[in-house]
């Protein structure tokens, strides 16, 4: 959005992880990147982090295996977008915000996740999440024969970078809200 930017410190090194599907034929990569630099400091600095559970095992033949992850914000934040990521066994996602007062709200539901159509879900209205809010993610995986994209439904599946392995990863874009002013001395 206008008047937002992500800080890129002078001298930083950018690292990109490219995912390819082999075809058995030699080819070349034509990846490029474009950066737009702000001509003045933005009103809002956007930051990135990830919600990850790398400690799971999906049993052979499981058609709806559940994996959860959770994090708690220790500052007031504004959540701008979320990017769920699994591989070919991922089938759906649900995200809930659990507020400090105990109230729960589903903030994103991806009922038909598709590895071939991954997207960053940008909120029309960024979400204000007070300190102490928990973000709870649940992903379901289909490691059965009924999943036509499944490379081998007879194997246990763990975290890994390769498409035949799995991930439970969510990229988050957020900003820190201004700290409240200290109470005035009377």
DSSP string, 64-75: SEEEEEEEE-SS
Give the H/E segment covering residue 122. strand 121-129
3-state secondary structure of 61: coil
Q: What is the pLDDT of residue 185?
A: 62
Spatial strand order in the sheet of 104-110:
65-72, 134-141, 90-98, 104-110
Q: In the chain, what is the straight-line distance between the N-terminal and C-terminal CA atoms, in Å?
A: 41
Q: What is the pLDDT of residue 87?
A: 96
- The predicted model scores a pTM of 0.89
Give me the average pLDDT of each 10-residue run along the chain (186 residues): 92 86 85 90 96 98 98 98 97 98 98 93 97 98 97 97 94 92 73
């Amino acid at each position: 959005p206008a008047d937002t930017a992500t800080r890129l410190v002078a001298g930083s090194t950018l690292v990109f992880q490219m995912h390819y599907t082999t075809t058995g034929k030699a080819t070349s990569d034509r990846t490029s990147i474009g950066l737009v630099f702000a001509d003045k400091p933005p009103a809002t600095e956007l930051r990135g982090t990830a919600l990850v559970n790398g400690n799971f095992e999906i049993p052979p033949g499981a058609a709806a295996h559940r994996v959860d992850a959770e994090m708690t914000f220790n500052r007031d934040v504004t959540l701008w977008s979320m990017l769920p990521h699994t591989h070919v066994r991922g089938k759906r996602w649900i995200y809930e915000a659990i507020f400090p007062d105990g109230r729960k709200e589903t903030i994103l539901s991806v009922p038909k996740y598709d590895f071939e159509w991954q997207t960053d879900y940008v909120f029309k209205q960024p979400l204000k999440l007070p300190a102490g809010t928990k973000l709870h993610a649940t992903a379901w995986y289909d490691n059965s024969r009924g999943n036509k994209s499944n490379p081998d439904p007879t194997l246990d599946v763990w975290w890994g970078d390769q498409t035949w392995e799995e991930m439970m990863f969510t990229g988050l874009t957020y900003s820190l809200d201004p700290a409240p002013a200290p109470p005035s001395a009377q």
